[in-house]
Structure formats: C-alpha cells, structure tokens
Amino acid sequence: MNGVSDLNLGLACARAGVVPSLIPYSFPNMSEFATAVTEILKECTEIQVAFSFKDIIARADLIKQLGITHIEILDFEQYDLTPENRAAVNQLRSQGVKILLKVLLPNIIDEFIDIIDAVTVKGSEGAGRSAKDIKLETIIFEIKRSYPGLPIVASGGVKNGRDIRLLMSHGACAVSIGTLFAMSKESPIPDSVKDKLLQSTSGDIRRLKMGARQRAIIFDEYGGDDFNNTAGLYSGLRTGKTGHIFVGNALDSITDIVSVQEIVDHLLS
C-alpha cells in the first residue's frame, strides 16, 4: 500500500511467512528503498515491488542488483509500450524476475500478455482504485476463461481464511492483502490514526470525487491533488484529520491492533 509499506512492516511480513511488498515511492529516496529491500531479503527469498512501467526500464540494473524477485506494474502510459521496452522487460524475465500486471478488469491484459507472468486482479471491495460493483470471483472467472494458464493473484477486501479459500477455489493462486496489514502493530500509520480507523466501517468508505476516484475514508477532499490523490493520502496517514486514507472492506473485520504474525495466524486458522 502506497505510504504504508516500509522496512519494519516488510520485515514483519517476511518473518510471518508472507511475501513482503514494497512501493519505492513511499521512501524518501532510492538509497533507503534499496537498504529496505536488502534487509528484508535477509529474512526471506522473495519480495514484490511495485514500479511504474517506465521505472522498470530505468531501474532494471538496480532490480537485478538488489535481487528483487517479483515486480508489479504500478502504472503505465501507452507510449511506454515500445518494442524496445518490451524487450527490456523480457530480459528481466529471462533472468528470473516475475512480472505481474495489476488490473481491475481483463480488458488491458492483451496489451501485456507477452511480457507478464501473472496478473493481480483487484475487486470492488479493495482500497484505492478498484473495480465497481463487480464481484472479484466474476473477474477471476473471466480471466481464466480468456487466458487459461495465466496465474491470478486476487486482491481487495480479503479479511479472513474463508475469503482466501473461496478466491483460491475460483482459480486464484494467491491473495494480496493490504488493509489488514496496514492496521497491524508494525504498520507506520500512527496509533492515533489507527484508533480513528477502528471507529470506522466499510459503510464509511467513499470514492474520492477527483482523479482516480479511489475508495477511502475521507476526512476532507484535497484540492489540486495529482491524479492518484497522493498529497491527500499522505496528509490522512499523518494526521487522521485532513485528506484521506485508502482502505478496503476488510476494515470491518478489524477489532484491535495486533501484530502481522497474529493476523497471519488468524488467516490460516
């Protein structure tokens, strides 16, 4: 989750047997991001990092140097999808790096099918950008029908072991979890803000009126923000009074602030 993934949370996930996920743009600079990746990979063998498509190309040497195993394409521009850039991505794949494309619907998969190893599909109950009013199981079914053999990671609203079993029975090979871990003890969100979120439910989640129209607990709408509503997000994470915080329906299952290990134990019970 943008603004939440950091070294401490990544280490907690690794030690709990979860593949940690980082977003480099949450770090002050690439040096601190590189240090976090290095420290986390001392605790586990796999790590997923979300990069923009252009940064996958620009940071290819760093990706190989750090030993990043999985990359999720965070965003892209149509003009990025040149034959040269496709070849660069496939060069990374030839060296063992797995490339995942995050989608809300299957309609863009065709453009990437020759350069990806899997898709992360995000349903309507997820935080931030999410599909509207379409069940996650339905989207998984459509992808499996159109792209048999393409591995699918299910994301959005996963709150317990029953959800995990349901999604995997419909064809997901793994699940991605955001809100539960964002509300963990190890998450960098201040305790005062976590306590405020504990008082909220999925019924309080709204879509932002501007930009990408993400799902969030909204304290107030930021004017002049970027398309991804980043300034408002960081204000919300910092203060719990202004801006917003991206959360999913898994918020309903959180009654206390516990450790990542406790969350994982509960999911597997």
Q: What is the pLDDT of residue 64?
A: 97
Q: What is the pLDDT of residue 3?
A: 80
Q: Tell me: the pLDDT tens digits for 204-262?
A: 999 999 889 999 999 998 778 899 999 999 999 999 999 999 999 999 999 999 999 99
Q: Count structural domains, the chain.
A: 2
Q: What is the pLDDT of residue 180?
A: 97
Q: What is the pLDDT of residue 61?
A: 97
Q: Both 170 and 246 in a single domain?
A: no
Q: What is the pLDDT of residue 221?
A: 82
Q: What is the pLDDT of residue 131?
A: 80
The reply to whether 11 falls in a domain is: yes
Tens of pLDDT, residue by residue, the chain (269 residues): 678 999 999 999 999 999 999 999 999 999 999 999 999 999 999 999 999 999 999 999 999 999 999 999 988 999 999 999 999 999 999 999 999 999 999 999 999 999 999 999 999 999 999 888 888 999 999 999 999 999 999 999 999 999 999 999 999 999 999 999 999 999 999 999 999 999 999 999 999 998 899 999 999 987 788 999 999 999 999 999 999 999 999 999 999 999 999 999 999 98
Q: Both 166 and 214 in a single domain?
A: no
Structural domain for 148, as ranges: 7-181
Q: Both 161 and 194 in a single domain?
A: no
Q: What is the pLDDT of residue 130?
A: 86
Q: Both 157 and 104 in a single domain?
A: yes
Q: What is the pLDDT of residue 69?
A: 98
Sign of CA dihedral 42, 45, 51, 53: positive
The overall average pLDDT reported for the chain is 95
Q: Both 75 and 167 in a single domain?
A: yes
Q: Both 193 and 159 in a single domain?
A: no
| CATH code of the domain containing 25 | 3.20.20.70
Long-range contact set of residues 175-178: C-beta below 8 Å, sequence gap at least 24: 176/21, 176/120, 177/18, 177/250, 177/267, 178/1, 178/4, 178/126, 178/127, 178/248, 178/250
The reply to whether 259 falls in a domain is: no
Q: Both 111 and 92 in a single domain?
A: yes
Q: Both 116 and 247 in a single domain?
A: no
The reply to whether 264 falls in a domain is: no
The reply to whether 265 falls in a domain is: no
Q: Is 132 exposed, middle or buried (0-12, 13-18, 19+ CB in 10 A)?
A: exposed
Q: Both 109 and 166 in a single domain?
A: yes
